[in-house]
């Protein structure tokens, strides 16, 4: 079945460090891929989206590239700030109604 895997449960960085959050997916379709971000006390909100038509998504300094060969959709940011501390979810939409979420990666950025 369709699935999304985020192996990093928690990432701790210092301000200005490079961020890399790993996400891989499995599906037989040509999906749309998403990164959602959840700040404390809030619901998840869309960070960026990538479809098969455009391979890269960029938003608020974050970027993710859709790699069909390795079925990966890693999230990167060149220089993190303390305000980026949140939980990041990779998600998959296989053109059905169901959006499948990864378990989430808790990013903690130290000042």
Partner 1 sequence: DAGVTQTPRHEVAEKGQTIILKCEPVSGHNDLFWYRQTKIQGLELLSYFRSKSLMEDGGAFKDRFKAEMLNSSFSTLKIQPTEPKDSAVYLCASSLVPGLNTGQLYFGEGSKLTVL
Return phi, psi of residue 58, to 5°. -135, 135
Q: Which range touches partner 1 (CB under 8 A), out of 15-23, 33-41, 57-65, 77-85?
A: 33-41
Give min distance, CB of 68 to partner 1, in A: 16
Binding flag, residue 57, partner 1 (CB under 8 A) = no
| Contact criterion met (CB below 8 Å) for 36 and 91 | yes
Backbone φ, ψ for residue 106 (5° rounding):
-85, 115
Per CB under 8 A, 89 contacts partner 1: yes
Residue whose CB is less far from partner 1, 17 or 49:
49
Site for partner 1 contains 25 (CB under 8 A): no
Residue 99 binds to partner 1 (criterion: CB under 8 A): yes
CA 86, 105, 46, 101 dihedral sign is negative
How does DSSP assign 40-100, residue by residue? Answer: TTS--EEEEEE-SS-SEEEETTEEEE-BTTTTB--EEESS--GGG-EEEEEEEE-SSSPEE
| Residue 91 near partner 1 by CB under 8 A | yes
Q: Looking at beta carbons only, is 9 or 18 nearer to partner 1? A: 9
Among 12, 51, 55, 79, binds partner 1 (CB under 8 A): 51
Q: Write down the least CB distance from residue 99 to partner 1, Å.
A: 5
């Amino acid at each position: 079945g369709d699935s999304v895997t985020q192996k990093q449960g928690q990432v701790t960085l210092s301000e200005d460090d490079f961020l890399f959050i790993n996400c891989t997916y499995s599906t037989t379709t040509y999906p749309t891929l998403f990164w959602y971000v959840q700040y404390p006390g809030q619901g998840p909100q869309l960070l960026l989206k990538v479809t098969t038509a455009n391979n890269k998504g960029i938003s608020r300094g974050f970027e993710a590239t859709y790699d069909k060969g390795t079925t990966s959709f890693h999230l990167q940011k060149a220089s993190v700030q303390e305000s980026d501390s949140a939980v990041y979810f990779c998600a998959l939409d296989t053109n059905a109604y169901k959006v499948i979420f990864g378990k989430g990666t808790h990013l903690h950025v130290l000042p």
